[in-house]
Amino acid sequence: MVVSYSVPHPISSRLCVAAAVLVASLSTSALALERVHLDSPDATPFDCTRVEALDAGHTRLYLYSPDIPGATNNFTDVSTARIVLMETVPDPPPVPTALKPAAAAAAPSSYDIHDLIARAGAQHNIDVELLASIVHTESGGASKAVSRAGARGLMQLMPSTARDLGVEDPFRPDQNIAGGAAYLDSLLTRYKNDLSRALAAYNAGPAAVDRYHGIPPYRETRAYVAYVEKEFTRRKQAATRTAALATVVAH
């Protein structure tokens, strides 16, 4: 049976904290997880092993990670006011060995990340330096990166997004970059090549951008858009200087 706890919205921070404490107190059983839904319609719910009220306005969600057993630092902090529903659900069944990332051992062991980015950029008509800037910002080039929210790989795809894009193994650079580029392409099309809105949607989800008719007032999202655009500008300028220098040397 699934036990749900509806959180009225809008709601005072004090009541939200009380709700979070209630869910935390009911989650002592090792046979249940807490599924936390945020106010963004297309936001992926968080499956949590524990929910902890930090203060009057923030709640810490300790995320369930089947492929990172025993992890204690895999958590994310959210504004308590954004929590609209919490429900207790049974633990999912163990992940079959054949589906674990380790089963991809037969996949190529090495990749040329720059080549993968170049191919994805050409396929989707996206500037290579823009894709490189997103990879740099999202994961620092670490193909096995996992965020506190559960996003995975070089372009930090959430599991649900990866599935929608046909990405079977988000830790494989070729699949991750191909999926991330396809997703960014769809966002650029949706927002008529408005880069700032597309980047904001990549970070916070299209629903948040549509709701606020632009970059949502989330500090993380605003910082993300600014950083990617700054990195993109830096890379374009560096590429221009390199091309100019090559021309001079050639003559």
160/245 same-domain check: yes
pLDDT per residue over 37-54, tens digit each?
Answer: 888 766 677 777 778 888
166/55 same-domain check: no
> Would you say residue 98 has pLDDT above 50?
no
User: Higher pLDDT residue, 129 or 99?
Assistant: 129
121/212 same-domain check: yes
154/48 same-domain check: no
Is 229 one of the annotated active-site residues of the chain?
no
Long-range contacts of 223-230 (CB under 8 A, 24+ apart): 224/137, 224/199, 224/200, 225/196, 225/199, 225/200, 227/137, 228/133, 228/134, 228/137, 228/199, 229/195, 229/196, 229/199
177/71 same-domain check: no
Domain boundary among 68, 90, 112: 90
Q: What are the distances in angstroms from CA 35 to CA 89, 121, 174, 181, 242?
A: 7, 36, 31, 29, 50
Q: Which of 87, 138, 229, 231 is catalytic?
A: 138
Q: Nearest Cα to 38, choosing from 91, 69, 79? A: 79
23/134 same-domain check: no
52/143 same-domain check: no
| φ, ψ (nearest 5 deg) of residue 29 | -70, 135
User: Higher pLDDT residue, 67 or 75?
Assistant: 75
> Would you say residue 15 has pLDDT above 70?
no
86/104 same-domain check: no
User: Higher pLDDT residue, 66 or 139?
Assistant: 139
> Would you say residue 172 has pLDDT above 80?
yes
* Count of Cβ atoms closer than 10 Å to residue 63 Cβ: 22
User: Higher pLDDT residue, 209 or 15?
Assistant: 209
110/221 same-domain check: yes
Q: Residue 45 sits in which domain range?
A: 3-90
Average pLDDT value for residue range 123-138: 95
Average pLDDT value for residue range 125-149: 93
Predicted pLDDT at 56: 81
CATH of the domain at 22: 3.90.70
Predicted pLDDT at 91: 46
CATH of the domain at 193: 1.10.530.10
Domain boundary among 90, 113, 131: 90
